[in-house]
Amino acid sequence: MKAIVQDRYGSADVLQLREVPPPAPRRGEVLVRVEAAGLDRGTWHLMTGLPRIIRLGTGLRRPRNPVPGMALAGVVAEVGQGAAGFAVGDRVFGVGTGTFAEVARARADRLAHRPACLSAVEAAALPVSATTALQALRDVGRVQAGQSVLVVGASGGVGAYAVQLAKASGAEVTAVCSTTKIDLVRAAGADHVLDHTREDVDAHRRRYDLVLDIAGNRPVAQLRRVLTPTGTVVFIGGEHGGPWTGGIQRQVLASARSPFVRHRLAMFVSRESTADLQALAGLAGLGALRPVVDRTFPLAEAAKAMGHLEAGHARGKVVVVP
């Protein structure tokens, strides 16, 4: 089969299209014939090996899994032992291993049946980013109807979903983005938009019950200034910082400080599950969640797709199609 392979960590030029043997499903897994694979910042981190602390889990000198990619949509090609709930021919979406390929492995408990209302490309844009937004709002931020929510970094993959899901929860949403992406976040349902090239998040007297910090490029003190007295900041992203810990250090330090301040400062890492994928599919079916796809690239141009993501040009999700 054709697959994108990387033999070392680095920039997008380490990604090469090769012929490789198809994987075999392990216990509890299925094989999926990939119709589309979504890109996300997690895939970028695994490609670059940055921050270096992640290499403790991904491989010290080179990626333990040489075929990158996590989010996928496709058709079940084989069901492994102990993998319940799926049959050959089922159309599915979710999170797998090595999805930048024609065939990929995926744990059955990280897949869901793809609803008829979603194309393969749209479904591949959901699993990682939309799950992150859902869990950050619902499980960590504990968003409630009538609350005021600020989404910092609202035009990216996670941010565009966070705006939609916060609105679906009944919140009043303020989105922070650049001038060229204002139309995107307004279309996602934002009640208010702050153009960060002209004004900052604390330029107004508006206060928020919940701040989702996806951009990860503002001082924690500044985010706390815009909170209500008992408000919450959920730290989702963070690309800034040294090569060893990156934005992780900022999140850990803020979380450690949380018990000693009146605000709640929460570090967050998402975990995909069938239940949450089904919840996202249900919201999409109701029209409350719309996949935001910026561009698609053929598998052979995966390096170009990653470069587009890395440059910050994406307006929503980038998807690779085998």
pLDDT digits (tens, 9 = 90+) for 67-119: 999 999 999 999 999 999 999 999 999 999 999 999 999 999 999 999 999 99
Alpha carbon distance 237, 13 (integer Å): 24
Average pLDDT (152-167) is 95
Instruction: Please tell me the predicted confidence (pLDDT) of residue 239.
Output: 61
CATH top-level class for 2-126+291-321?
A: alpha beta
pTM of the model: 0.94
Share of the chain above pLDDT 90, in %: 76
Whether the predicted pLDDT of 23 surpasses 90? yes
What's the CATH code, domain 129-267?
3.40.50.720
Answer with the residue of higher pLDDT: 56 or 64. Answer: 64
What span, in angstroms and rounded, lies between the C-alpha atoms of 14 and 12? Answer: 5
Looking at residue 300, its pLDDT comes to 98
- Report whether 246 contacts 50 (CB < 8 A): yes
Ranges 7-11, 50-54, 60-64, 129-133: which has the least confidence: 50-54
Mean pLDDT of 12-22: 97
CATH 3.90.180.10 intervals, the chain? 2-126+291-321
CATH 3.40.50.720 domain range(s) in the chain: 129-267
Quickly count: other Cβ atoms within 10 Å of residue 24's Cβ: 10
Look at 87-91, 95-99, 222-226, 237-241 and tell me which has the smallest mean pLDDT. 237-241
Distance, in Å, from the CA atom of 119 to the CA atom of 73, rounded to the nearest integer, reads: 9
